[in-house]
Amino acid sequence: MNTLFSRRRFLVAAGSGLALPVLSSLALPQAARAEAAPLLLTAGRRSLEVGGKAASVFGITRADGGHGLVLEPGERFAVQLANDSGENTIIHWHGQTPPYGQDGVADHLHPALAPGRVASYDFIPRSGTHWMHSHHGLQEAQLMAAPLVVRTEADVRADVQEVILMLHDFSFRAPEELLAGLAGGAMSHGAMPGMGGGQMPMGGMSMQGMSMPGMSMPEAGSAMGSGMAGMAMEGMVMDLNDIDYDAYLANDRTLSDPQVVPVERGGRVRLRIINAASGTAFWVDFGSLVVTVLAVDGNAAEPVTGSRFPLSMAQRLDVMVEIPADAAEAFAVLALREGARERTGILLAPKGATVRKLALAGEEEMPALDLAFERQLRAADGGFAARPVDRKVPVMLMGGMAPYQWSVGPAAWPDATPFMVRQGERVELTFMNHTMMAHPMHLHGHHFQVVEIAGEALAGARRDTLLVPPMATAKVIFDADNPGRWPLHCHNLMHMQAGMMAELLYEGVA
């Protein structure tokens, strides 16, 4: 068996979401890695069956037909991207920190990729569980996304099975139609088909969309005990789930016909979970299994154990699952929709275990995501070395549901004022959410460390996407070591399209 064939076989399993075999022979020799021809990825159309109905969606596929990409230790990100979608597109390599021009975002210097054209990328990839997705229009909502995993030497040596779990939300309606419904002012939730129905009352009076600088509220999971990410201020209403999607997918399938992954009795599974949903946050639930968190957003974390963890849009979670040797039934790994009963997931099935049918909805609505888990997280390497902060940047998250307008600062994109930094600086971003919705904030080109939540200092996890709950504050730090024009935006796609984006701009960059 030659090396190239082994590598391709590994990628097929990874991209399809199947269990990944542990084959140390898949690691390419250094010379082979350096000389390997660029991998071809194609952004195009594909067909799915969702709830018994055919659907045309986007996809990012390899030449062998597999979805996404898994790189072995030492491999460069040497990729040619062909656009076969029939429309302009551009693919962002989420979690990677390439030179500015290869980030996969269109701007005045880097136009979108026209149909029929091919773009080339070549950089040293960042290890971990990441993903790729369109950064053009609303294509991400039509599943223009795929896994992007870069394995380490430790991953290769470990005696574990690897499984990728990619989550999506899906609508048969065009995302442009959904956004038009939100922006058109039909904001009494549930009044329009496809519009979300989630509000979490905190009293009797709705305060949707009000910007309230300086107001602080106790965090969810505090003495209030309600699990809501906003606080128990009399009269406040927290908005959840702008859109009620037609389906929620795990590796392109619903719980009506979930993926069943064969696993070994007494074995271990590294589960790489990616929330690629455009507008849905989930609680990832392992039922009776107690699992160990290994990494978040592709960055190793000190171990945290538990059976349920929050996962906002664009975030990733690596966990180690120990499969009991005496398991009688398959184990469900469920993604439970925030503020609702809908769910999706996969099944981990030891040989001979009973596989039971699961309902599409749970018995009770799930609470809003909070930051209790975030407070527990610590970077495995201790995070950034201690040094003074050179620049402090306040990041105001503003806007609301009626009218449907969102922004980073007082002006919406593309009129938002850039945040200026200088190369070599230690930068502190203070996110202040003055809205009644949570916002998963993503910074391109960098990974930051969470250092404060609601005024409480901590040496938290390294991330590239941080959930900022309603009326909450959080601080992160990073080193300005990658010059460019870097988007800073909410990863709720509809919020970003409605203006919630700005740029982090290095001095001297055109």
CATH of the domain at 488: 2.60.40.420
Establish if 212 belongs to a structural domain. Answer: no
Range of the domain at 416: 391-506
Q: How many domains are contained in the chain?
A: 3
Pair (346, 301) in one structural domain:
yes
Establish if 211 belongs to a structural domain. Answer: no
Establish if 416 belongs to a structural domain. Answer: yes
Q: pLDDT for 65-108, tens place per residue?
A: 999 999 999 999 999 999 999 999 999 999 999 999 999 999 88
> Cα–Cα distance between 165 and 146 in angstroms, integer?
11
CB-side neighbour CA atoms (13 Å) of 229 = 32
Pair (339, 455) in one structural domain:
no
Domain boundary among 157, 188, 210: 157
Establish if 96 belongs to a structural domain. Answer: yes
Pair (153, 163) in one structural domain:
no
The model's pTM is 0.87
Pair (287, 169) in one structural domain:
yes
> Cα–Cα distance between 272 and 130 in angstroms, integer?
9
Pair (43, 166) in one structural domain:
no
* Sheet of 260-263, strand order: 260-263, 343-350, 331-337, 282-285, 308-311
Pair (135, 34) in one structural domain:
yes
pLDDT of residue 229: 36
Q: Position of tokens 């030891």?
A: 350
Task: Point out the residues of the chain with pLDDT beneath 50.
Answer: 1-34, 185-235
CB 350 within 8 A of CB 264: yes
Establish if 410 belongs to a structural domain. Answer: yes
- Strand partners for 45: 58
Pair (176, 297) in one structural domain:
yes
Pair (250, 164) in one structural domain:
yes
Pair (48, 146) in one structural domain:
yes
pLDDT of residue 236: 61
pLDDT of residue 35: 58
Establish if 207 belongs to a structural domain. Answer: no
Interacting residues of 420 by C-beta distance below 8 A, sequence separation 6+: 505, 506, 507
pLDDT of residue 184: 80
Pair (13, 46) in one structural domain:
yes
Establish if 301 belongs to a structural domain. Answer: yes
Pair (136, 170) in one structural domain:
no
Pair (36, 177) in one structural domain:
no
Sign of CA dihedral 244, 249, 252, 254: negative
Establish if 352 belongs to a structural domain. Answer: yes
Q: pLDDT for 281-330, tens place per residue?
A: 999 999 999 999 999 999 999 999 999 999 999 999 999 999 999 999 99
